[in-house]
Amino acid sequence: MNIVVLAGGISTEREISIVSGTMVCKALREKGHRAILLDVYCGDSRIADLCRPEIPGCGTPDSGRKNSPAADSLFPESYDVDAAAAYMRSFDGQIAELRRTRREFFGPNVLALCETAEVVFMALHGEDGEGGKVQAVFDLLGICYTGSGALGSAVAMDKELSRKLFAADGIPAAAGFALRRSEARRPASENGIGLPCIVKPCCGGSSVGVEIARTQEEYEKALEIAFGYEEEVIVEQYIEGREFSVGVVDGKAYPVIEIAPLVGFYDYKNKYQAGAAIETCPAQLDADKTAEMQRYAELAYRTLKLECYARMDFMMAKDGSLYCLEANTLPGMTPTSLLPQEAAALGMDFPALCERLIEVSLRDRRA
């Protein structure tokens, strides 16, 4: 198949997205697909001649575009994935200036390439690519892509909204509230949550901007950090216990994985620094607790109207109570990421998992 692996972007998770995209592109090529790696924001001006609108099948509404001669040129049999990733990273120092001077989100030739592909593998992370906007454009253009649609993506990205939906559907979630920058801030002792508490951006990912506040001074500092990323933040009760994650593919829960950071909590550093956390899959839980967590993961998937695949994160308090923290609609996709580890526990290697996600997405979007 001719596949665009879409990554990069302008969120705080740009680098992680490039890593995911690189690994996915290599895995799909290992399976014989003609996959190419593309930055959703920076695009690829090097292929401008191949993406001229007058070329039949490239950036045009012609129904035969996916099997045109232009498509063969755009998705070559021989392709250097690492070189493509290096090209994406060459823009890293320009992102801030590009955002200041440019209005459009999609980079050069991005939509033309995505229209020409048979499917777009979404390796985007963070609000700009994971929050439903890109998915909505693709829906309007009739572009097939992996992962959840626009509605589910947008709902899951908003942690306050998803927490309220969890509560309405009987999914246990941490107590908390949303706070906008313009709103008055009461001391932590009077906000209904107390200390310690968790402060985090409402629509962030990869634990960027997440802080544990144990004193009023730390609480004020945590708010300052979180508001540095977004206009709305979430304040939640702090749950001391064990952390888990459960992938859901095609509506069915995968084995539970436990994450145990060696120091602190599962923040950005512990997520992406090798050896910073011990990850055990299947998690060492009794059968009843495993089934309970998987049941809540599947229910959260349905509650948020997710599609294809997602990953739900949980905390288990010392008394055994479960709390669903959030849903990740485009979780990390490297061989050592959490969802691929869960798939491996089922005997499915990383390339096979990538193909499975494409299979489910195409089935649902072509139905």
Dump the DSSP string for 228-266: TT-SEEEEEE---EEEEEEEEETTEEEEEEEEEESSSSS
Within 10 angstroms of residue 330's Cβ, the number of other Cβ atoms is 28
Contacts of residue 199, Cβ cutoff 8 Å, sequence gap at least 6: 210, 211, 213, 219, 222, 223, 225, 226, 233, 234, 235
Question: Could you tell me the domains of the chain?
Answer: 2-145 (3.40.50.20), 175-237 (3.30.1490.20), 241-351 (3.30.470.20)
Sheet holding 252-261, edge to edge: 277-280, 252-261, 241-249, 309-317, 322-328
Reference 210, options 242, 188, 233, 193; nearest CA is: 233
Q: Report whether the peptide linkage leading into residue 196 is cis, meaning its omega lies within 30 degrees of zero.
A: yes
Q: What is the DSSP string of 98-112?
A: HHHH---SS-TTHHH
CA–CA separation, 197 and 176 (whole Å): 9
Is residue 286 within 8 A of residue 350, CB to CB? The reply is no
Nearest residue to 35 via CA among 27, 47, 45: 27
Q: Using DSSP, state whether 5 is helix, strand or coil.
A: strand
Q: How far is CA 285 from CA 149, 258, 288, 289, in A?
A: 33, 9, 8, 6
* Residue 306: C-alpha distances to residues 42, 133, 156, 303, 309 (Å): 28, 15, 8, 8, 7
Q: What is the pLDDT of residue 155?
A: 95
| Cα-based distances in Å from 217 to 45, 116, 224, 238 | 49, 54, 11, 16
Tell me 65's DSSP state. Answer: G
- The rounded radius of gyration (Å) of the Cα atoms in the chain is 21
- Judge whether 353 and 339 are in contact, CB under 8 Å: yes
Cis, peptide link before residue 282, omega less than 30° from 0? yes
Per-position pLDDT tens, the chain of length 367: 999 999 999 988 899 999 999 999 999 999 999 999 999 999 987 665 555 544 443 444 344 456 555 667 899 999 999 999 999 999 999 999 998 999 899 999 999 999 999 999 999 998 778 899 999 999 999 999 999 999 999 999 988 899 999 999 999 999 988 888 888 788 888 888 889 999 988 776 545 678 899 999 999 999 999 888 888 898 999 999 999 999 999 999 999 999 997 765 544 454 555 566 899 999 999 999 999 999 999 999 999 999 999 999 999 999 999 999 999 999 999 888 999 999 999 999 999 999 999 999 999 887 5
pLDDT value for 51: 53
Report how far residue 220's alpha carbon sits from residue 239's, in angstroms, rounded to the nearest whole number. Answer: 20
Q: What is the pLDDT of residue 311?
A: 97
Q: Which two tokens stand for residue 84?
A: 């493509």
User: What pLDDT, on the 0 to 100 scale, is given for residue 16?
Assistant: 92
Sheet-wide strand order for 232-237: 176-180, 232-237, 197-201, 211-213
Burial of 41 (0-12, 13-18, 19+ CB in 10 A): buried
The CA–CA distances, whole Å, from 56 to 17, 53, 114 equal 32, 7, 15
Number of Cβ within 10 Å of residue 89's Cβ equals: 14
pLDDT score recorded for residue 73? 84
pLDDT number for residue 283: 97
8-33: burial string, b at 16+ Cβ within 10 Å, e else: bbbbbbbbbbbbbbbbbbbbbbeeeb
